[in-house]
Amino acid sequence: MHISDGILDTGIVMAANVVSVGVIYLTGRNVKPEEIPKIGMTGAALFVASLIHFPMAGTSLHLGLFGIAGIILGKRAFPAIFTAILFQALIFQHGGLVTVGINSLNMGAGAYAAWLIWRTEALPEYLRSALAGFVGIIIPALLMSLEFQLSGYGRGIFYLFSIYIFAALIEGAVSFSAVRFFRKVKPELLI
């Protein structure tokens, strides 16, 4: 899901970088001091989780935890995701430096959608948590597939999207388990 430099159309990548700076400003302003540890710990969890890869269908997948980030941080998930992606690119060349913006927007969109689902109180908590985890991966995978399509890679790139359905199911189960754990141990962590 981390797009490397030089793969996507330059115009798309540059536009995403500009939008990403704006989103960082909007979601990161007026941060309260008590929010900083939660943002930092969630960003660290995102950083570590995405370094553990599992081979699948000719590629490799990793947990993203974008649903959990949306549940825990809400709109503050974007700065945590951006920071984790930036450090992954700088330290491990996981993704690219020029594509940090588009990668952040893709993954941040998943976290934001997860947050909106989490806030929907009409659904039971167990369903909201699983759905948030699922959507937290499916939306970035769909956006990435569309970006590859717009960059001229053809419809075959949607095969990659189909692999992420399995990853999204796993993320749904992980999010469900995490919410159950946090509800028992530290319920104030859940917004």
At 52 the pLDDT is 84
**In this structure, is residue 81 part of a structural domain?**
yes
Q: What is the DSSP string of 34-60?
A: GGHHHHHHHHHHHHHHTT-EEEETTEE
Instruction: Pull the structure tokens for residue 183.
Output: 């509800």
Query: Cα–Cα distance between 90 and 106 in angstroms, integer?
Result: 19
At 83 the pLDDT is 96
**Residue 122: partners with Cβ closer than 8 Å, 6 or more residues away:** none
- What are the φ/ψ torsions at residue 160 (nearest 5 degrees)? -60, -40
Q: Is 44 left (phi over 0), alpha (psi -120 to 50) or beta?
A: alpha
**In this structure, is residue 98 part of a structural domain?**
yes
At 2 the pLDDT is 83
For 120, half-sphere exposure in the C-beta direction (CA atoms, 13 angstrom radius) is 16
At 154 the pLDDT is 73
**In this structure, is residue 93 part of a structural domain?**
yes
At 51 the pLDDT is 83
Q: How many domains does the chain have?
A: 1
Q: What range does the domain containing 101 cover?
A: 10-189
**In this structure, is residue 127 part of a structural domain?**
yes
Report if pTM > 0.85: yes
Query: Cα–Cα distance between 173 and 14 in angstroms, integer?
Result: 35
At 130 the pLDDT is 98
At 62 the pLDDT is 84
**In this structure, is residue 1 part of a structural domain?**
no
CATH number at residue 100: 1.10.1760.20
- What are the φ/ψ torsions at residue 56 (nearest 5 degrees)? -160, 125
Residue with tokens 């998930």: 77
Tens digit of each residue's pLDDT, the chain (191 residues): 688 899 998 999 999 999 999 999 999 999 999 999 999 999 999 999 988 888 877 777 888 999 999 999 999 999 999 999 999 999 988 889 999 999 999 999 999 999 999 999 999 999 999 999 999 999 999 999 889 888 888 777 777 778 889 889 999 999 999 999 999 999 998 87
At 126 the pLDDT is 96
Q: Report how far apart the first and last C-alpha atoms of the chain are (Å, whole number).
A: 27
Q: What is the DSSP string of 20-37?
A: HHHHHHHHHTT--GGGHH
**In this structure, is residue 2 part of a structural domain?**
no
At 113 the pLDDT is 98
**In this structure, is residue 97 part of a structural domain?**
yes
At 157 the pLDDT is 74
Q: 50: exposed, middle or buried (C-beta count within 10 Å: 0-12, 13-18, 19+)?
A: buried
**In this structure, is residue 58 part of a structural domain?**
yes
Residue with tokens 């993954």: 107
Q: How far is CA 145 from CA 24, 137, 138, 152, 174, in A?
A: 23, 12, 10, 11, 24
At 30 the pLDDT is 94
